[in-house]
C-alpha cells in the first residue's frame, strides 16, 4: 500500500519530497530523463501529469508546460507508455495527475486498469469532487489503486472528514486558494495543517508554492510530504534539464537523514 510505503520512507526523512513532471514537456523522452534525474537527486514520490488543454488547478507555468507537451505531440497513450517505462525503472512510487476529461475520454475502467498495468500506484484528479467520483472509486478499488483527494484552507471540518473517509495513500493539502505556482508563506500554515491532521490519519502532502529549502523546512513537523512542481519547470526553462539535480538536492535541509 502507498500509505505504508510513505510511512516507511518517513522513518528516514523529516519531510519527503514529491516532485511533479508534465509528461511530454518539453518532449516525452526529455520528460522521462527529467524524472530519472529527480530520483537521482532524492525525490521520494512523483506525480506524472498527463497534459490537458485546460488544467484548471494549474497556474501559468504548468499551463505553459501542458501546452508545450500537447504542441509537441504528446498523447494519452504515449504518456501511459512512458509512465510504464518509468515505473519499471524508478524505485519510488509514481502516481498520475490529470483532469477528469482525460479519464472520461479514455474510459473510467480502462483508465484504472491501464494505470495498474503500467505500475503506478494511484492518481490525483483535482477537478473531480468525491461526491461525483463513485464510478472511478469503484474502478480504483478493483485495480488496487489509491485515490488521492484534496483539502484546501476553505474546506470545512465536516467536509474534510467526508473526504478523508474516501481518500487513500495520502491527502494533498493545497497551501492556499487559487492555482499552482504562486508564492506561499508556509510558516503561517500551522492552524490549517492542524485541522487537516485532526480530519485524517493519512499522511499529509502540502503543495502550491514550494520553491526552496526554506519552504520545505517550514513544513517539517507539520506535514509528511512537500510537493514541488512549478519551480522545477522554471528551473528547466532557465537552466535546462541539467539544472534539475542541483535544484532538487538543494531542497533538502543539510541535517535531514539520508
CATH number for 88:
3.20.20.70
Give the pLDDT band (50/70/90) at residue 59: confident
pLDDT at 178: 38
237 in any annotated domain: yes
Q: The cell 510537493 sits on which residue?
A: 227
- What CA–CA distance (Å, rounded) separates 207 from 256? 20
C-alpha cell at 201: 490519519
The tens digit of pLDDT for each residue in 33-44 reads 999 999 999 999
Give the pLDDT band (50/70/90) at residue 253: low
22 in any annotated domain: yes
254 in any annotated domain: no
- The model's pTM is 0.91
C-alpha cell at 170: 495520502
* Residue, of 256 and 5, whose pLDDT is higher: 5
257 in any annotated domain: no
153 in any annotated domain: yes
179, pLDDT greater than 80? no
Q: With beta carbons less than 8 A apart as the criterion, state whether 83 and 48 touch.
A: yes
For the ranges 119-133, 174-188, 199-213, 239-253, which has the lowest average pLDDT?
174-188
Count, residues in the chain: 258
pLDDT at 188: 60
As a whole number, mean pLDDT of residues 246-250 equals 96
147 in any annotated domain: yes
76, pLDDT greater than 50? yes
C-alpha cell at 107: 474510459
The tens digit of pLDDT for each residue in 17-56 reads 999 999 999 999 999 999 999 999 999 999 999 999 887 7
- What CA–CA distance (Å, rounded) separates 175 from 233? 19
Strand partners, 207: 174
Q: Which domain range does residue 108 map to?
A: 2-249
83 in any annotated domain: yes
pLDDT at 208: 83
For the ranges 23-37, 106-120, 172-186, 195-209, which has the lowest average pLDDT?
172-186
136 in any annotated domain: yes
pLDDT at 210: 87
**Widest CA span in the chain:** 46
Alpha carbon 101 to chain centroid, angstroms: 18
The tens digit of pLDDT for each residue in 137-152 reads 999 999 999 999 999 9
Active-site annotation, residues: 47, 58
C-alpha cell at 128: 473531480
Q: With beta carbons less than 8 A apart as the criterion, state whether 27 and 231 touch.
A: no
185, pLDDT greater than 90? no
C-alpha cell at 70: 500537447
- What CA–CA distance (Å, rounded) separates 242 from 254? 22
For the chain, helix, strand, coil in percent to 5 are 50, 15, 35
Report the domain count for the chain. 1
Amino acid at each position: 500500500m502507498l500509505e505504508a510505503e510513505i510511512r516507511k520512507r518517513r522513518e528516514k526523512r523529516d519531510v519527503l519530497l514529491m516532485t511533479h513532471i508534465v509528461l511530454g514537456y518539453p518532449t516525452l523522452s526529455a520528460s522521462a530523463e527529467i524524472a530519472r534525474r529527480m530520483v537521482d537527486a532524492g525525490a521520494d514520490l512523483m506525480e506524472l501529469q498527463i497534459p490537458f488543454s485546460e488544467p484548471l488547478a494549474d497556474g501559468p507555468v504548468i499551463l505553459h508546460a501542458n501546452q508545450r507537451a500537447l504542441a509537441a505531440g504528446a498523447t494519452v497513450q504515449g504518456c501511459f507508455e512512458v509512465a510504464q517505462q518509468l515505473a519499471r525503472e524508478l524505485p519510488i512510487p509514481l502516481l498520475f495527475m490529470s483532469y477528469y476529461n482525460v479519464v472520461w475520454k479514455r474510459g473510467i475502467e480502462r483508465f484504472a486498469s491501464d494505470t495498474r498495468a503500467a505500475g503506478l500506484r494511484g492518481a490525483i484528479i483535482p477537478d473531480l469532487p468525491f461526491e461525483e467520483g463513485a464510478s472511478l472509486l469503484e474502478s480504483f478499488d478493483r485495480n488496487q489503486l489509491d485515490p488521492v483527494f484534496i483539502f484546501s484552507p476553505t474546506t470545512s471540518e465536516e467536509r474534510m472528514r467526508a473526504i478523508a473517509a474516501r481518500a487513500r495513500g495520502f491527502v494533498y493539502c493545497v497551501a492556499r486558494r487559487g492555482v499552482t505556482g504562486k508564492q506561499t508563506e508556509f510558516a503561517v500554515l500551522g492552524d490549517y495543517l492542524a485541522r487537516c491532521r485532526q480530519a485524517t490519519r493519512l499522511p499529509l502532502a502540502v503543495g502550491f508554492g514550494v520553491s526552496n529549502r526554506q519552504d520545505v523546512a517550514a513544513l517539517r513537523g507539520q506535514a509528511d510530504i512537500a510537493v514541488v512542481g512549478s519551480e522545477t519547470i522554471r528551473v528547466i526553462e532557465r537552466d535546462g534539464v541539467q539544472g534539475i539535480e542541483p535544484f532538487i538536492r538543494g531542497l533538502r535541509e543539510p541535517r535531514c537523514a539520508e
